[in-house]
Structure 1
Amino acid sequence: MDFLPALSRRRFLGGAGVGLSGIACSQLLGSEALGGEGKSHFPAKAKRVIWLFMHGGPSHVDLFDPKPDLIRHAGKPLPDSYGTVETRRKVAKNPLLGPVKAFRQYGQSGIEVSDFLPHMAELADEMCVIRSCHGDSVNHPQSVYQMNTGSIQMGKPSMGSWVSYGLGSENADMPAFVVMPDPGGGLKGGPPAWGSGFLPATFQGTTMRAGEHPILHLNSPMSSARQRATLDLIQQMNAAHQARHEANSVLDARIRAYELAFRMQSAAPEAVDISRETEATKKLYGMDDPTTKEFGTRCLLARRMIERGVRFVQLYSGDTNGWDAHEDVLKNHTEHCARTDKPVAGLLRDLKQRGLLEDTLVIWGGEFGRMPMSEKGVGRDHNPWGFTTVLFGAGVKHGHVHGATDEFGLRAAVDKVHIHDLHATILHTLGIDHDHLTFRLNGLDQKLTGVDECRVVKEILA
């Protein structure tokens, strides 16, 4: 039976001729597959990902996509030539709203960045700015699902789950996929955004949080020997139950979770202990300022996670409403940029000085952008038809701008990048062919990028 772990890895990456069902695959998930032994399709530029998810929809036309025509035509209606515009709150006929802060050119690349983000702007020569992203829903939950799972429908596996399924963790004592939600809660879409969907449950994201206890229930009052004996008994009972019933990925995940939790009790306390970080490092992340301390702490934890072999880390900025600037884009984005700008820049600088940015892909963006038309005079409605995602680090060109929206920033117009294209490109940087990272379900090979035609955006690849 020694061939089974290798066979399961081959299935992870879509090996031809391996006809395993989803249930069968869950039976074959050996420790090798979960310990970083998954093989990529070709040499990877990125070994790991940090995804900074700005929940609620940051306004591209106010942050990374300057539109001179939007300034010139501010106060006027959108021209009739734009046709019907689907909006969430019927703002299509409202006057255009110019960018609420100035843009300036930065670095040798001359990339224009808003005054909202002075710290990130200093890293313009590290940016790969995709200005032509687009999706398929004007609603938050569906768009959060699509950006995370490739589908507007709830219940599909998240990208972090797909990556951990395909590549595993680099450290058997740490999870492959870690999620740090905003402490305010209220994500529109909820935990399914980082769930494993139809993949075995063991691939869902492990939740962490900033604060004294980033991982709940990590410390045990029992001695290690007694806990080991207790766990062995529980595992024997679980295995006996599993042998009498059909394969159950939830039970399989529980068995593996017990083992991982036991190993994490040795590895994780050190991993989440930021007291040993220098004061200079903490200051770099903004931890000396109440405004930036919370998000800065999570950014620092993200760096510590990838240093210790976690494959995919996702941080959410924005609670129930987050960056959802319906009422007042200036007020909303001033608040959220103030919380995140310095920590994000600090994370990037820290990764670079430690040599980690060379093989780490960092993603900044939300589920969609905002409309160029005003809402209530000073706010903006949802816009999935054209928005910006910014990449840093491994596998992508630096100091580079790809694509464009139209003259007002309403729709992707030049070198369009659908969310499926973005996902295919992210997987490519990890050495994965999106067409061959599959899972057999109900007789069909399922994949992150779905059945629609999509492409790797090779123009942005380093």
Structure 2
Amino acid sequence: MKRRRFLQSGVALGAMAAAGTLFRSTRAGAAFGEAPEPYRQIGLPAELRAENILEVFLYGGLTTWETFYGVEEYGRPDDPNPDLRGTQLHTFYNPAAPRDSLLSQVLMECGLPADNLELYPFARDALGMNVKLGPLLAPLIARKDVLDRTRIVVTRHDLEPHEAAIPYALCGRTLGSPQMACLGAHVQRHAMEHGDPGRAAPYAYTFTDLGIPGDNLRASLATGLHPAAVRPLLLRASSEEFLELLQRPKVGPERAAFDGLLSRYVDQVHDRVRYRRQGDPLRASRLSELSQTIRSVASAHELGAVLDGALFEETMTALCGDEAAVNAPAICLRVIAHLLTHPAMPARYCCFVDPGLIMADGGGGYDTHAETCRTQARNLGNTLTELLSHVRRPEEQGPEAAGKIDLDRTLVILNMEFGRSPGAQDDFGRNHWPYGYVTVYLGGPIREAQRGIYGAIGPDGHATTFVKPAEQRVAALLAMGIWPFAQEGFGVSDVDGTRNEGESAEAALARVLGHG
């Protein structure tokens, strides 16, 4: 990592010391995330709010049909409609010849039952269909405590390219919108205004650039109309060089003098852009951000106490008979669990862009155009296994629960830019499919009463009742007690069928989180 890149990261290292007017919302001087007086009573009670969020972004799009939305009646080989035969759950599985089906062969490779497709009954959708969880969710199905706090939300939009769909899914805004800010930026902004002004570590982190093509994944760091200081800190599975730079070896014992000199230079410029050398700098937001960056770099060594280098130790994993490979999800999720549960400076938001254990034919993660079953079975099985290994079980108490994610405190979101097509592409793959897929919520405000499904996907794979990505982002902020409606955030029009902020908040809470 070059020094220039380290300095760019410095904006997010801990710029908490002088939030001041730079971070004031443009809305009547209120802090970002504070609800206006007429809507103060709307929202989740404190005991149901999530303290932090872990977002797993399944890059490329999970196959919906073998995972979170298996409807046995749809797409059967004998479907009366010839256009629907052998689609959805039955694309790679023929119940009349299970042993000869590609899906069964993949399940056998991974040591899972394959003679008869084992589906887990979950809930009925808005069309009254019995939706079952597919065999690729075996690690999740084995955790009843987590299943009891699972909510599946049907999602739909019309953006097929990765480059357009990824920003929309991560930010709830399309490319070109000045308000396109990632969820981490909103959370960081709110935490900086309400948190410890002396904190050195950031509140929001993003793990990406893990061998995945660009495809606008930098949207996971977008700040939109927020100040640049709310940018989440970018980390990778291999961050040894970054951790070394936190100690600033090039400056060495002259660190204090170096920092003092930089601060002096900036103070001189500050004086020149203040009216009669009084008050705050005028129209100099970039100067204020530079000042915060310098203060952040000066305290960068303190972040080293949070990011223990041992957490990034390389992990090798062999799965389903394959050769051992570097397990980036295992490394990243281990670091994330540490950050979310840190006793002194816990993170409030972590986004992990899942590259998978093995490379997909489309370039990474779950982008499986030529071959879907084997790649997605391995990558999803690995990610779910690693994720759930860090989620506390009910029987784990005291010291054995230390460092484990508590679903009473943490909301886990399984997000993606779109799903995969209900029919095959090139015989064994699936194409992009934004017209009906799912976003999954685990824990946080999701209790047993909220368990289930919102919406429905029909026999042709198109969602008939659904929410859009913007409403998902609105609901995630509400889950943390952050009012999302502001110039830097979202508007009433982002929640369909509502007329004011109160109605929008209530609708998002009911549809996405099941509280209404």
Coarse TM-score class (shorter-chain normalised): 0.7 to 0.9
Amino acid of the residue matched to residue 134 of structure 2?
S
Distance in 2, matches of 1:218 and 1:3, equals 26
Residues 98-107 or 145-154, more deviating: 98-107
Paired position in structure 2 for 1:150: 172
Choose which of 437, 449, 453 in structure 1 pairs with 2:495.
453
Does residue 1:228 correspond to 2:256, yes or no? yes
Paired position in structure 1 for 2:238: 211
Sort the Cα spacing of 1:376 and 1:2 in 2 relative to 1 into closer, same or farther, 3 A: closer
Distance in 2, matches of 1:159 and 1:341, equals 22
Choose which of 251, 254, 268 in structure 1 pairs with 2:304.
268
Paired position in structure 2 for 1:302: 336
1:3-402, aligned counterparts within 5 Å? 10-13=30-33, 43=46, 45-73=49-77, 77-78=82-83, 96=87, 98=90, 100=92, 101=103, 102-105=117-120, 112-127=132-147, 128-154=150-176, 156-168=180-192, 172-211=199-238, 213=240, 215=242, 217-221=245-249, 226-245=254-273, 247-274=283-310, 290-291=324-325, 293-306=327-340, 307=342, 308-318=345-355, 320-349=363-392, 353=401, 354=404, 356-398=406-448, 400-402=451-453
Distance in 2, matches of 1:350 and 1:264, equals 35
Identity rate of aligned residues, in percent? Answer: 16
Q: CA shift at 1:275, angstroms? A: 5.7
Contact kept? 1:200, 1:253, Cα under 8 Å: yes
Contact kept? 1:292, 1:343, Cα under 8 Å: no
Sort the Cα spacing of 1:250 and 1:409 in 2 relative to 1 into closer, same or farther, 3 A: farther
Distance in 1, matches of 2:233 and 2:76, equals 48
Contact kept? 1:170, 1:309, Cα under 8 Å: no
Distance in 2, matches of 1:461 and 1:370, equals 26
Look up the SS of the partner of 1:431 in the other structure: coil
Residue-by-residue CA offset, 1:131-172 (whole Å, 9 max, x unaligned): 411223112121111111111214511111012112338561
Contact kept? 1:108, 1:125, Cα under 8 Å: no
Sort the Cα spacing of 1:4 and 1:446 in 2 relative to 1 into closer, same or farther, 3 A: closer
Residue-by-residue CA offset, 1:167-214 (whole Å, 9 max, x unaligned): 338561211211111420313113133211221111112111123527
Paired position in structure 1 for 2:481: 431
Q: CA shift at 1:429, angstroms? A: 1.0
Structure 2 portions without partners, runs of 5+:
1-17, 38-42, 93-102, 104-116, 125-129, 274-281, 497-506
Sort the Cα spacing of 1:190 and 1:7 in 2 relative to 1 into closer, same or farther, 3 A: closer
Sort the Cα spacing of 1:16 and 1:72 in 2 relative to 1 into closer, same or farther, 3 A: closer
Sort the Cα spacing of 1:234 and 1:15 in 2 relative to 1 into closer, same or farther, 3 A: farther
Sort the Cα spacing of 1:45 and 1:366 in 2 relative to 1 into closer, same or farther, 3 A: same
Distance in 1, matches of 2:456 and 2:338, equals 37
Distance in 1, matches of 2:427 and 2:325, equals 28
Sort the Cα spacing of 1:237 and 1:136 in 2 relative to 1 into closer, same or farther, 3 A: farther
RMSD in angstroms over aligned alpha carbons? 3.8
Distance in 2, matches of 1:207 and 1:167, equals 18
Residues 400-409 or 349-358, more deviating: 349-358
Distance in 2, matches of 1:74 and 1:213, equals 56
Paired position in structure 2 for 1:82: none
Contact kept? 2:247, 2:304, Cα under 8 Å: no
Sort the Cα spacing of 1:129 and 1:175 in 2 relative to 1 into closer, same or farther, 3 A: same
Amino acid of the residue matched to residue 174 of structure 2?
I
Residue-by-residue CA offset, 1:81-106 (whole Å, 9 max, x unaligned): xxxxxxxxxxxxx9635254445227
Structure 1 portions without partners, runs of 5+:
18-39, 80-93, 439-444
Sort the Cα spacing of 1:334 and 1:5 in 2 relative to 1 into closer, same or farther, 3 A: closer
Residue-by-residue CA offset, 1:293-332 (whole Å, 9 max, x unaligned): 3211110111111223222111111274421121111133
Choose which of 449, 462, 465 in structure 2 pairs with 1:411.
462
Contact kept? 1:207, 1:215, Cα under 8 Å: no
Contact kept? 1:52, 1:363, Cα under 8 Å: yes
